[in-house]
Amino acid sequence: MTLRPGLVAQAIAPLLIALVGAGSASGSDIVSTPFRVRPYLQNPAADAMTVRWFSDANAAGTLTCDGRTFTSSPVLSRDLDYQMTEPAGMQHASPPFLHSVRITGLKPATSYPYSVEQSGETAKAVLTTAPEPGEVGRGGGVRLFFYADAKARPDSRQSRAMWPASPSLPGGPRPRWVGDRYLVEETTAYRTNLALIASRAAESLRAGNPVLCSIVGDLVESGGEQRHWDEFWRHNAGEFGTLASRVPIVAVMGEHDIFGGPQSDDRLRDLGGYTTPVTLLASRKFLTYFEHPENGASDERHIGRYHRLDFGPVTLLSLDTTNGGSDSGADDTNHFLDRQAATHIPDYTPGSEQHDWLKRELEAARARGRVVFVQFHHAPFSGGMHGRNPGRGDGKDPHSGQPLRSLAGLFKEHGVTAVFCGHDEMYEHSFADGVHYYTVGIGGDALSPPDAGHVNDRQIFVAHDHAAERWRGDVLESGGKHYGHVEVEVSRRENGPGFTVSITPVYLFPVLNPEKPGEVLDWERRTYDDVLALEAVPLSPADAEPATEPVTATDASPSTKDP
């Protein structure tokens, strides 16, 4: 399917503007506008939505929606200041002011135009509330998008990712000019990916189905470097694109989001690595930007780091796995970070508060008859380098996702439909103990191949091996691993209680100019040959009744089965 001309225009024209006019990674990057970050949507509910934005000035803005006008209370966000080692040309003069307005009393699954006026500039968009829990949009469903590993940073404008060749089909291998680098820079890839999501979201909204976009960690390269967050928001609510003004985004942290930046013996270049102060700073930056539903954590620093979002028929449970387990043990997901010192990061292992929360939420979701998705950054089953055994040294990985396999039994027991992860920059689908696991680390950074050192024996599909490249001369005709995301549709079943679920891996296919090797003329939306269709059906018809509160039934688990 070729992207509609409108989308192509969206994807390409702003890109040209950006490359010409958005500054460079080495020069000044600062655009003076009343909006440091343009308005974006958070924490969607059936009757409410939060609109946030950031300004340079300490001045109230106004939000108009649903015939009402709200005046914001600007809050200075000191955590969004720069480390002194960040390049001066990429620094705003002072930290920005946060404006956050929660609009309540809205109708479910309903679209509302809104506008935000800030210091003489006006931004307009349309928000759409979630369906009531257990219900669907007037089009019969909802649509969710998942991707990970955007790893936004200004340097991405000049960086083309390594692109190790997939197996080639008869017709010819890669032409020599391709080399081992991808066809466009990472910034182009990320913004085109978001443009495609925006197009598909608009289509879904026109059909009456609310939308949600989830980022499964590693939003930025270094969470401690403010210029990386600036770049992330240029893509999502800024000069590169405004997807988040129309589609609420929800996020979990990856290890890059808590990474201060490269360490150095030179004090003037040291960004702190995984030392506790910078992981705390980086975490606070993330938590300043995102408003997530309350999780009841006893340590207030853990609020917003794991959460439950009800979105119509879907319950989405998000976990923080950035430093779980015993320090430097086989269950440790970060061998560079001292567990005892970094208590601002919640553990996820049995006996921890987050684990207890997860168990309670899984039980409640199954009692409600919901389609349950779980997301966290570290993929438990991966053929990439993060699928290695945990540890440091040859053949091991200090950020291994293997420890997360300890949760697989819980997911199976509670009828989880699918688990979405990132971490390895691949599209990979695994199946273990009745649960589907997806790695969607193809948001906009690297395009890694499987790791040669080990085998993921739960793997069903991995783009590198299972989408062979077919070249005709200088033009790629099909296959290969590319940037993209996963699109999930959940719709009410036509014949009986429960829901249908389709999970589609989407990638951006570059249409190359046969007359000019390497020139990308256009992008097509294509899907890998790994589309999954499921039915999530409550075990008894009574369980299909929507319930807003958990009930105590223990046999009400939705069973997920292949049709």
Residue with tokens 């003076």: 32
Q: How far apart are CA 233 and CA 238, in angstroms?
A: 6
Among the candidate windows 11-19, 160-168, 282-290, 418-426, which touches Fe ion by CB under 5 A?
A: 418-426
From the CB of 424, what's the least distance to Fe ion, in Å? 8
From the CB of 423, what's the least distance to Fe ion, in Å? 4
Cβ proximity to Fe ion, 218 vs 361, nearer residue: 218
Among the candidate windows 69-77, 216-224, 291-299, 512-520, which touches Fe ion by CB under 5 A?
A: 216-224
Cβ proximity to Fe ion, 382 vs 417, nearer residue: 382
Tell which positions 217-236 bind Fe ion, by CB under 5 A.
218
From the CB of 320, what's the least distance to Fe ion, in Å? 13
Cβ proximity to Fe ion, 255 vs 310, nearer residue: 255
Among the candidate windows 51-59, 75-83, 420-428, 512-520, which touches Fe ion by CB under 5 A?
A: 420-428
Cβ proximity to Fe ion, 46 vs 253, nearer residue: 253
Any contact of residue 423 with Fe ion (CB under 5 A)? yes
Cβ proximity to Fe ion, 56 vs 218, nearer residue: 218
Where residue 446 falls (left for φ over 0; alpha for ψ -120 to 50; beta otherwise) is beta
Tell which positions 295-324 bind Fe ion, by CB under 5 A.
none
From the CB of 217, what's the least distance to Fe ion, in Å? 6
Q: How far apart are CA 98 and CA 320, in angstroms?
A: 24
Q: Longest C-alpha distance within the chain, in Å? A: 67
From the CB of 380, what's the least distance to Fe ion, in Å? 13
From the CB of 149, what's the least distance to Fe ion, in Å? 7
Cβ proximity to Fe ion, 217 vs 497, nearer residue: 217
Any contact of residue 380 with Fe ion (CB under 5 A)? no
Residue with tokens 């200075």: 76
Cβ proximity to Fe ion, 91 vs 382, nearer residue: 382
Total chain residues near Fe ion (CB under 5 A): 4
> What letter represents residue 196's amino acid?
L
How does DSSP assign 132-170, residue by residue? PTT---TTSEEEEEEE----B-GGGGT---B-PPPPB-T
* CA neighbor of 109 nearest in space, from 199, 204, 200, 194: 204
* CA neighbor of 420 nearest in space, from 259, 193, 262, 254: 254
Tell which positions 242-261 bind Fe ion, by CB under 5 A.
254-255
Among the candidate windows 214-222, 293-301, 503-511, 530-538, which touches Fe ion by CB under 5 A?
A: 214-222
From the CB of 386, what's the least distance to Fe ion, in Å? 7
> ∠ at Cα 299 (298, 301), nearest 5°?
140
Q: What share of the chain is helix, strand, coil (3-state, %, to 5)?
A: 20, 30, 50
Among the candidate windows 43-51, 211-219, 301-309, 347-355, which touches Fe ion by CB under 5 A?
A: 211-219
Where residue 16 falls (left for φ over 0; alpha for ψ -120 to 50; beta otherwise) is alpha
Among the candidate windows 127-135, 213-221, 281-289, 345-353, which touches Fe ion by CB under 5 A?
A: 213-221
Cβ proximity to Fe ion, 14 vs 254, nearer residue: 254
The H or E element containing residue 459 is strand 459-462
Q: How far apart are CA 387 and CA 399, in angstroms?
A: 9
Any contact of residue 424 with Fe ion (CB under 5 A)? no
From the CB of 425, what's the least distance to Fe ion, in Å? 9
145, 213 in Cβ contact below 8 A?
yes
Three-state DSSP class for 385? helix
523, 495 in Cβ contact below 8 A?
no
> DSSP character for 309?
E
Cβ proximity to Fe ion, 36 vs 423, nearer residue: 423
From the CB of 256, what's the least distance to Fe ion, in Å? 6
From the CB of 448, what's the least distance to Fe ion, in Å? 11
Among the candidate windows 134-142, 419-427, 512-520, 525-533, which touches Fe ion by CB under 5 A?
A: 419-427
3-state secondary structure 247-298: CCEEEECCHHHHCCCCCCCCCCCCCCCCCHHHHHHHHHHHHHHCCCCCCCCC
How does DSSP assign 405-436, residue by residue? GGGHHHHHHTT--EEEEESSSSEEEEEETTEE
Cβ proximity to Fe ion, 223 vs 415, nearer residue: 223
From the CB of 220, what's the least distance to Fe ion, in Å? 11
Residues that bind Fe ion (CB under 5 A): 218, 254-255, 423
